[in-house]
Homo-oligomer: A and B are copies of this chain.
Amino acid sequence: MSEQTRYAISASWVVPMEPENTVLKDHTVIIEQDKIIDLLPTAELQQRYPDISVEALPGHALIPGLINMHAHSAMTLMRGLADDLQLSVWLNDHIWPAEQRWMGPEYVHNGAQLAVLEYLRGGITLFNDNYFYPDVTAAVTSQAGLRACIGLPVINFPTTWARNTDEYFARGLEIHQSLKGDKLITTAFAPHAPYSVDDDSFLRIRKLAEEMDIPIHLHLLETAGEIADSERDFGLRPLARMQQLNLLDTRLLAVHMTALNDADIETVARHGVNVVHCPESNLKLASGICPVAKLLDAGVNVSVGTDGAASNNDLDLLGEIRTAALLAKGFSGNPEAVPAATALAMITINAARALGMEHQLGSLVPGKQADICAVDLSAPETQPIHNVISHLVYATNRQQVQHVWVAGRRLLRNREPLTLDVEEITSNARVWQKRVGKDYVAQAGA
């Protein structure tokens, strides 16, 4: 590695995200160790930092490292395994049998590595994960030098990861303990969903999350069907049940949130719940559509996640906010809904805020961590450049991400990952293709 104590990155444009909707022409970011210590016009660089080592990136825009707020990283190995199916068929006949057969440390290691490689090549520097064997995903991420918020899964049915609820908690707490003090990896509780986690577990999570001061990452209102089921099983709508369990607050990362009426939106806003929007997964599974424009109008903090590769099927946040911005307009009937700068905020500063990390991450501001992504806008597909932020959202392809730094450390150079072995990772994926694919074909034919 070639980190220096202090160095400069000069680019044609810097999009700091704070202040919002701002493009700084010909600016330079100064980095020392893991932090941004200055941001200045490149014209002043020579005078103010005469001997500094400079990486000049003409034609590039610097943006904060992107934050993927809902991931099941290891599911990359099931990418394209089953598409265009009813949710119940997809889960019961394809995804769950494949997981039951194959999920384990090796599967998660290889799947998470493939995801982390895809994140890095797409400018994603932090992901909020929810999957089994979180210790394995944490280790893969650490090794690659990315950041993650690793979910500690809780679900009321046994898996190879844990036999019962107590074991889920015990294993989760153990992992949390082992990651304490880690500079790049944090944890969150990840109760699966209201329909798969009982009240006692939720109460326990609430108490522990407060003591440990970590977020709660929950699938909530993915489909309208959840509402009737909840009324049948608990006598309450899911949101009302979560409210009764005292779970609605700024600690909650509520993922999907498709089946919201106006009163729900008001409740979500009043309690400061963070909504994580997964537009492509919701569309693909026809789960419903999150009313993003209304949530934003109500002052709710909305961020965006890719969901897992089995239901998306790309882990592409730039593509995801393009879909989010387009869908919000089409769904609300208002072409002014979710303008480009708002869409970009959803995968940067809003996401950092959701994780309670807005003082460290999410914008290119002196004092924050140096998590930076350099996007080459000189490609024909982003010419001419009337508006940099518009291009980043509506025209840029993630393959235009050229360089990535996390905590001041360079992880991607000219699209080459410096901490991950592409050949090894893709070759492992091909091994799983044969295993999982063969298994899948055998079942489909059965």
Contacts and interface: CB of A to CB of B under 8 A. Distances in A.
A12 to B, nearest CB: 12
A433 interface: yes
Copies in the complex: 2
Interface string A328-363: 011011111111100000000000000000000000
Given A284-B326, A380-B121, A386 B80 contact: yes
B394 A313 contact: yes
Interface stretch (A49-57, A164-172, A228-236, A423-431): A423-431
Interface stretch (A63-71, A82-90, A265-273): A82-90
Nearest to A111: B384
A218 interface: no
A286 interface: yes
Given A378-B426, A394-B312, A332 B286 contact: yes
B121 A283 contact: no
Contact of A280 (B288, B326, B399): B326
A250 interface: no
Interface string A88-118: 0010000000000000000000000010011
A86 B334 CA distance: 7
A199 to B, nearest CB: 31
A397 to B, nearest CB: 6
Interface in A397-428: 397-399, 422, 425-426
Contacts of A330: 282-284, 286, 288-289, 327
Given A326-B284, A394-B313, A397-B399, A380 B80 contact: no
A390 B329 contact: no
Contacts of A319: 319
A436 B387 CA distance: 12
A285 B335 contact: yes
A74 to B, nearest CB: 13
Contacts of A189: none
A339 B383 contact: no
Contacts of A398: 397
Contacts of A262: none
A14 interface: no
Contacts of A366: none
A30 interface: no
A283 B326 contact: yes
A391 interface: yes
A219 interface: no
Contacts of A18: none
Given A326-B323, A430-B384, A394 B332 contact: no
A294 to B, nearest CB: 15
A257 interface: no
A312 B382 CA distance: 12
A255 B326 CA distance: 19
Contacts of A436: 384, 386
A335 B284 contact: yes
A132 interface: no
Contacts of A382: 79
A408 B436 CA distance: 39
Contact of A391 (B80, B380, B399): B80
Nearest 3 CB-CB pairings of A with B: A384-B433, A283-B330, A84-B339
17 contacts: A79-B382, A79-B391, A80-B391, A83-B340, A84-B336, A86-B335, A86-B336, A122-B381, A280-B326, A283-B326, A283-B329, A284-B335, A285-B329, A316-B381, A323-B326, A380-B422, A386-B436
